[in-house]
Chains A and B, each alone.
Chain A
């Protein structure tokens, strides 16, 4: 490998080639090719069951692909523990587990492997304290997690992912079950974080995708689109399989960039 191509590989946060994932007999992802440059802010949209979360899990190395390769900063995901911060889907979490907000974020500071009688250092606790300030949860630090609202819970999961000090942040629906104010806080936080790390965001929030991210991928089993954050009807139709009214509920803006008042494209 020449010096140049090594540098090129390093500049890529994620490189996915010919990735296919099969659950039982059912193909979930087919022949995905996707490259995410370091420093990018990629939004992934698609219908339910379109494989968005599965793609994240393949990048995390939680799922064995049927074929194809995934590289994170030029290495297989399994060798890259501690480089990726992960915000899992809110709906999958056990919200009644007996644990405080601070304890959850501290788990992000656990060291790899097995250290018996591991105790969190003063530095770990400081890092977590600062992160809680950053996401605006410092006052709730000693609350049990069942006492948190949806927005507070999501911000806690983001703080936990950041406690790892990741270079790549993967978020699965971080604005699901979140009130409007928290949603705005989360997006401004992500914009700020993007200055120092690569972000991949899976979302249903079409409005956010178009206004916040740097690039967009549309996933419906296959990668339908990857490029500038613009949607047109052709992409949306192939994504959802039917014409979709691209007006978000309760938001007086059209999502389609090219849909002016005249309606011509």
Chain B
């Protein structure tokens, strides 16, 4: 595969796409898991399908349409969550379905033969184009810079929003900012694992990393590395067996997490019974 990689542009693109996806997943995934925003991220991801359809209908780049729709969904969900009154889980599930429905509607409205959109639903890392890569690079840079630049603020906000607000940190800003970063992350992941499978790649590396370390920064770094392993293992299987890359990446992610969880559960018990303090580094 390495020889093929040097030879074929599409495999090089897939390689870089995997790295970029692992980076955003690692950083944002840890935040999503800790802040319990997994369902909200699912809502944002599925709403973006409307954008893909809109892109095909109007002739703009579908991924750009997905970005606009998912950012709009993020802002909408954030506003409803802050308002409190309406039950946010209801609104999220409605947006979730509405986005998918709009996608199908827009594609039906499109003149001519309908395009193959399953690569947006289930991902196709082997069909990532140069343009996709530029956009993914830009989004990854923004996400990583935003988290690194305000790392201490993020940590205070994530741990205790109320206290952060009391000492004068603009928590409303951070909340919306975080939702927009999630929207950008989702768009990066669409090309790799697709809209429907995004949640696995967002949560699995972060949850696996959480088994090994209780330090937030290390957790993000481990999560990036674990995500890389998942992506390349999935990519290799996809290339070898000629199956959809999104599916193979997701199956690898989920199986790895379950294995790590079960193995840790076993050894964890032994550790505590031997009377150690259970300090995890």
The answer to whether B264 has its CB under 8 Å from any CB of chain A is no
Roughly how many angstroms separate A176 CA and B199 CA in the complex, as a whole number?
Answer: 38
Task: Please determine whether A98 and B169 come into contact, CB atoms closer than 8 angstroms.
Answer: no
Most buried by B among A98, A107, A119, A147: A98
Roughly how many angstroms separate A82 CA and B153 CA in the complex, as a whole number?
Answer: 15
Task: Please determine whether A164 and B167 come into contact, CB atoms closer than 8 angstroms.
Answer: yes
Residue of B nearest to A107 (CB): B156
Task: Report chain B residues within 8 Å CB of A100.
Answer: 215
Task: Report chain A residues within 8 Å CB of B163.
Answer: 86, 88, 107, 160
Say whether chain B's binding surface is mostly helix, strand, loop, or mixed.
helix
CB distance from A99 to the nearest CB of B (A): 6
Task: Please determine whether B155 and A103 come into contact, CB atoms closer than 8 angstroms.
Answer: yes
The answer to whether B214 has its CB under 8 Å from any CB of chain A is yes
Task: Please determine whether B168 and A81 come into contact, CB atoms closer than 8 angstroms.
Answer: yes
* One of A24, A113, A146 near B170 (C-beta < 8 A): A113
Task: Please determine whether B34 and A110 come into contact, CB atoms closer than 8 angstroms.
Answer: no
Q: Which residues 57-71 of A sit at the B interface, judged by CB distance below 8 A?
A: 60-62
Choose the segment among B73-81, B100-108, B272-280 that binds chain A (4+ C-beta atoms closer than 8 Å). B272-280
The answer to whether B4 has its CB under 8 Å from any CB of chain A is no
Task: Please determine whether B34 and A98 come into contact, CB atoms closer than 8 angstroms.
Answer: yes
Roughly how many angstroms separate A22 CA and B210 CA in the complex, as a whole number?
Answer: 40
Task: Please determine whether A84 and B169 come into contact, CB atoms closer than 8 angstroms.
Answer: no
Most buried by A among B149, B160, B278: B160
Chain A interface (Cβ < 8 Å from any Cβ of B):
24, 60-62, 81-82, 84, 86, 88, 92-94, 97-100, 103-104, 106-108, 110, 112-114, 116-120, 143-144, 146-147, 160, 164
29 A-B residue pairs with CB within 8 Å: A61-B166, A62-B166, A81-B167, A86-B162, A86-B163, A88-B162, A93-B160, A94-B34, A97-B34, A97-B158, A106-B152, A107-B152, A107-B155, A108-B167, A110-B156, A110-B164, A110-B167, A110-B169, A114-B173, A116-B149, A116-B150, A117-B148, A119-B152, A143-B279, A144-B279, A144-B280, A146-B214, A147-B279, A164-B167
